[in-house]
Amino acid sequence: MTVPAPPPPSVAETPAVVAGLLNGRIETPDPEGGGVRETAEFLNGLLNGEVCQFENGQVVRKLTYVAGLPQGPATFYAAGRPVQHAQFLAGRLEGPSEILDPAGRVTVAMHYRLGVLQGPLRTYQEGILTMEALFVAGVQEGPATCYDPRGRIVSVTPYHGGQRYGEARYFSPDGALIRSETYLRDHLEGPTTDYAPSGRLRSRAFYHKGELHGETTLYDEHEKVIQRRVYHEGKVVLVNGKPVAASGKPVAAGAAAPAVTPPSPSPGGRS
């Protein structure tokens, strides 16, 4: 979040000037609307106290300054209503911050340390928790968990260095695993498996750099193979052992199918 520097008032707008330095409460008029654009408090030429900024007669920012830097609680507004609460320390975001919906309910709750996200971040919809994530020094790390409106886990996705890394899992409303995906540096890499809510295997595929690469297998209700496809860099080259041309049509008898590089090992997790 960037806090815009308040525009300095001219000496003519200044009710108190001591040794050439602004002191006291300042009102800066709005040259377009005719009202007040800003109210601020100065001490020895530095902002010190409450600063309020206005647009079209409505407050848009309310912050507290100490020795020229934002310090303490801050509130940001849209159409006259609060849309975000934050805390500052020595000019940087520090501590809890919340984003609000039009009804005043929290939609995002987060925590800052030295101006960057640090710790848990939670999102809400109409007051109901929808997602939890973790940040370390401004970078997303660890599992991100999504929830349905009844509080049941929908998915758990691991992050490392701000990117998806490892096995992501998706669940049915009953809590059964219905899909697993493997990521490496934010791209699908390795096995992806789909399950029926009963736990029955439905399909398995392999990815490389985000594209289907290797064998994809579909299973019937008895987990018997009903189709095998082989992909090379996102394009199917074999269906049930028969070569397929780039056009999607079967390759003529005797023609060689493109060579397929085996998929690389997954970065960890269930296959």
pTM exceeding the 0.75 threshold for the entire prediction = yes
Please, what is the Cα angle at 146 between 142 and 149, to 5 degrees? 155
Q: Does residue 43 have a pLDDT over 80?
A: yes
Report the Cα 206 to chain-centroid distance in Å: 27
Measured at the CA of 192, the angle between CA 213 and CA 177, to 5 degrees, comes to 170
pLDDT at 18: 74
Segment among 123-127, 180-184, 207-211, 259-263 with least mean pLDDT: 259-263
pLDDT at residue 245, as a whole number = 76
Q: What is the pLDDT at residue 120?
A: 98
pLDDT of residue 192: 98
State pLDDT tens for residues 205-252: 999 999 999 999 999 999 999 999 999 999 999 999 999 876 666 665
24 or 262: which leads in pLDDT = 24
What is the distance between the alpha carbons of residues 45 and 27, in angstroms, rounded to a whole number?
15
Q: Is the pLDDT of residue 3 over 70?
A: no
pLDDT at 263 over 60: no
Say yes or no to pLDDT of 12 above 60.
no
